[in-house]
Chain A
């Protein structure tokens, strides 16, 4: 079974600064997807960024980028130029490929952006 570990329960960052959220996972599969989801106080789960394991290039989406280290099974999220609206819980998630794939989440990290 796949597991996703987010060891930091919470972090804080000054507005406009850069912050990195850590995530490790465990799997025996070679092909899979990794995700970061954001959950603001509104409770809505929002996809931030996605990485396919077969791609060596790290995914980027505007101010959000990942550092994907496949051999180390590490998938960290970097948020540049942090904004107050980035305050939320962030979940790292893993999905195997195949007809019956499912999404497994880490416990999440609470990020607070200070003005």
Chain B
């Protein structure tokens, strides 16, 4: 079975540009999480969805960040406009909420560099 699929794997962009990161969760999973990883702050939860509905977006750093989940098989994280401090690895993870075993399945991450 395919795992969580993220794209792009790497993105280099210039300050001010719009960045869109994509995630396809594991089929059948009904919870999706977006994390950001940096050396300074470690792994931070940005937002998560249950059944395509955003539950907690308190981790989204500012209004430049937005996330959507239009259906059960796709989510996007958008940064507009991007800034150098947004440079990080962004992870998407999914799980089956109803079982609540706690294990999250992670994608390989999208490394973003903003120049």
Contact = CB atoms under 8 A, between A and B. Distances in A.
B18 interface: no
B84 to A, nearest CB: 21
A104 interface: yes
A28 B54 CA distance: 25
A102 B56 contact: yes
A62 interface: no
Contact of A44 (B43, B55, B97, B106): B106
A107 B41 CA distance: 7
Residue of A35, A100, A106 most packed against chain B (CB within 10 A): A100
A108 B37 CA distance: 11
Q: Determine chain B's interface SS by DSSP, over half rule.
A: strand
Interface in A81-98: 91, 95, 97
Interface size class of A (residues with CB under 8 A): 20 to 34
Given A43-B89, A45-B106, A97-B100, A102 B33 contact: yes
Contacts, number: 49
A104 B45 contact: yes
A44 B56 CA distance: 24
Residue of A47, A97, A101, A108 most packed against chain B (CB within 10 A): A101
Contact of B43 (A35, A91, A101): A91
Interface of A: 33, 35, 42-45, 47, 50, 91, 95, 97, 99-108
Interface pairs A-B: 7 shortest CB-CB: A33-B102, A45-B106, A105-B43, A107-B42, A95-B102, A43-B109, A100-B55
19 contacts: A42-B108, A43-B111, A44-B108, A44-B109, A45-B91, A45-B93, A50-B101, A91-B42, A91-B43, A97-B100, A99-B50, A100-B56, A101-B100, A102-B48, A103-B33, A103-B45, A103-B102, A106-B42, A108-B43
